[in-house]
Structure 1
Amino acid sequence: MDDTAPEWARGIGRIAVLTGAGISTDSGIPDYRGPDGVWTRAPEDVDVFRYANFVADPAVRARFWRRYLHHPAWRAEPNPGHRALAALECSGIALRILTQNIDGLHQRAGSTARKVLELHGSMHEVVCLGCSARTPTARILDRVAAGEADPSCPDCGGILKLGVVLFGQYLDADTIGQAEKIAKASQLLLAVGTSLQVEPVASLCRVAVEAGAHLVIVNRDPTPYDRLATEVIREPIGTALPRITAMLAA
């Protein structure tokens, strides 16, 4: 290890990385709460992502599907931040990614799928709220593009929902439980591109620190957990993460 590396980067063998929307903005996917974020530009769109509204109103579902039909994530490619984490895994360090993102870019960058825990689900599959059947999202969006405003389940006629956690839904208990175990076992938790305003995911930072891990936050804006961090880095993620991962792999 380079003697110039900070203490938190030395002798680290187990790393958990908590990623949020900020890691994907360099791929052309807007974040949610930033100056040009989805909710900042169109706060009324939050209502479309509320579970109760989605289930109750076909018009809301139609707006939702129209929004995802041309979502920039379908055209996005992994960026240097995603690739840096995949390279760190290849270095032999025990690395797990806990992501709030639904875009699948970590896996496309080369991170092993079983080592990426998608806390909020995936936009690449759709689930039926009636029979629980799962379908690739592309098939449903083809139906939307062909004129079905609110496509229903072909098996039972039930409501179809993107396989992600909407506002008002609880996170899967097994998933968050697994995330807590990973945070507790880590020597270093990197929180990258997340506002750390959404619980219970944000509290993974506290779980890691209380178990003895270093917490390093890489984010443009202040977060509620900055005071717990060993270091807070405001450098752009696309340059900070490759630098940090190279240090850790040395």
Structure 2
Amino acid sequence: MPGDLERAAGLLGAARRVVVFTGSGISAESGVPTFRDDLTGLWARFDAERLATPEAFDADPDLVWGWYEWRRARARAAEPNAGHRAVAAVEARLPGTTVVTQNVDDLHERAGSRDPIHLHGSLFAPRCTAPAGHPAAFPAGGTEPDEGRRIPPPRCASCGAPVRPGVVWFGEALPVAAFSAAVDAATACDVLLSVGTSGVVYPAAEIPRIAAITGAAVVQVNPEPTPMDELYAANLRGTAAAVLPALVAAAWPGERG
């Protein structure tokens, strides 16, 4: 670890264009469960495929919307951790940094990241179910959803169609614009930090591979080995909240933040 940290810090400190690619591990440290882990308590009687597909929403929109409102409330109650803040610190030092996340929470934004690319959508960006799929708003006010509660989805203010969660469900493609922007950033960067992701969820997992193939140094931050280890210039074993602040401090010694 000390040798890899020194190597990674040297790469980061000399970088001009950085991509930070994050997965569920960084959010888990703030207490945000994955969608599978959020099938607890009264939700445990359902499986993910019943709640996270277009077909599930068509069959029982109140059930699906209620679960996503439960998840949104859980994410809203969480706070960014030191890993999120360290990502924002990298952006502050290198304005050309691009954050690409597989997470559907808003913890990067609340930590200070500017316009992260959400490959799998966001719990905080609902959209109309009409073909145009334009953004929609949550109803004003409201109460915290009870666990297991069915909640009718709101209606689009423009056309009256039901509003759906703004996430990528099983059977759906990643948003074209988001994936294209992530690929462009990975192709142009000279360092990519892969943080808290197993590297097995495709096509998102192509992003660090693209960076490596096009000549970038890829640094992994993860507690456990992953199938992508051999691609990386440095493997930092540990959690994002523990490793990223140390990496930032080593890359820019003497600076605060």
TM superposition score category, shorter chain reference:
0.7 to 0.9
Q: Secondary structure at the match of 1:150?
A: coil
Partner of 1:101: 103
Percent sequence identity over aligned pairs: 33
1:1-250 equivalent positions in 2, closer than 5 A: 5-6=6-7, 7-31=10-34, 37-38=37-38, 44-55=47-58, 57-58=59-60, 61-71=61-71, 72-92=74-94, 94-113=96-115, 116-130=116-130, 132-137=133-138, 139=139, 142=142, 149-155=151-157, 156-250=159-253
Deviations 1:61-93 (A, max 9, x none): 322222233331021111101111111222235
Aligned-pair CA distance for 1:5: 2.3
Instruction: Give the conservation status (yes or no) of the 8 Å contact 2:65–2:164.
Output: no
1:9 shift after superposition: 3.7
8 A Cα contact 1:220 1:236, kept in partner: yes
What is the rounded CA distance, in whole Å, between the counterparts of 2:70 and 2:105 in structure 1? 14
For the residue of structure 2 that corresponds to 1:134, the secondary structure is coil
Query: 1: distance between equivalents of 2:246 and 2:98?
Result: 18
Structure 1 residues 127 and 181, CA gap change in structure 2 (3 angstroms): same
Which stretch shifts more, 64-73 or 22-31?
A: 64-73
**Letter paired with 1:170:** A
Letter in 2 for 1:136: A
Give the drift of 1:133: 4.2
Q: Deviations over 1:179-230 (max 9, x none)?
A: 1110011111111111222211101111101111111111223322122112
Structure 1 unaligned segments of length 5 or more: list them. none
Structure 1: how far apart are the matches of 2:107 and 2:170?
A: 22
CA distance, structure 1, for counterparts of residue 141 and residue 229 of structure 2: 40
Q: Which moved more, 1:90-99 or 1:101-110?
A: 90-99
* Alignment root-mean-square deviation, CA: 2.8
TM normalised by structure 2 equals 0.82
Question: Any idea what the Cα deviations from partners look like across 1:142-162, whole Å, max 9, x if unmatched?
Answer: 389599733242543423211
Letter in 2 for 1:134: P
Aligned length: 239
Length-normalised TM-score, structure 1: 0.84
8 A contact 2:193–2:219 mirrored in 1: yes
Alpha-carbon distance in 1 for matches of 2:88, 2:112: 5
Is the CA contact (8 Å cut-off) linking 1:21 and 1:101 kept in structure 2? Answer: yes
- Supply the distance in 2 between the matched residues of 1:218 and 1:32 (Cα, whole angstroms): 22
